[in-house]
Amino acid sequence: MFRILFFEPRIPGNTGNAIRLAAATGAELHLVEPLGFDLSSAQLKRAGLDYHDLAVMTVHPDLESAWAALLPANVYAFTASAATTYTDISYVAGDVLMFGPEPSGLPDDVLNDPQVTAQLKLPMLAGRRSMNLANTASIAVYEAWRQHNFFGSK
């Protein structure tokens, strides 16, 4: 339905949580290397629990390889500095929801990549720098899925 793209993730627990998110929602999880952890990490496995076999996950050696696999599609890059709120978008099946590494977020060259359809944000109180990566991805995926009446859910 939707595709989650983590660009160079650093924290295995967040990626493990995203594996569970993908398994629970039917989203695909795509990771762009380099990763800040080994895929056999105990933290990754613990956070993903027994959902690893239920999730679709692909690791790409670089962003160009990810684009080759994911495009054509709308690509929404999440960043705290965006002007557009994630709820202002009408999501369609196949959209890519892209998130940057902890704690820095997506670098400017990725945010301004011509493949990026729009930059989106989750509102936060003034003076807050960012939200947890897995939490942000969950909020965005559930909004996109909600707009499709939670297609396929029980």
pLDDT (tens digit per residue) in 127-137: 988 889 999 99
Res. 71: pLDDT tops 60 = yes
pLDDT-derived band of residue 47, with 50, 70 and 90 as boundaries? low
pTM (predicted TM-score) = 0.93
Within a 10 A sphere around the Cβ of 138, how many other Cβ atoms? 18
Res. 76: pLDDT tops 80 = yes
What residues contact residue 85 under an 8 Å CB cut-off, 6+ apart? 120, 121, 122, 123
Surface-to-core class of residue 51, CB atoms within 10 Å of its CB (0-12 exposed, 13-18 middle, 19+ buried): middle
Q: What is the pLDDT of residue 49?
A: 53
Highest CATH level, class, for 3-146 = alpha beta
d(CA 81, CA 112): 13
Say which residue, 11 or 97, is predicted with more confidence.
97
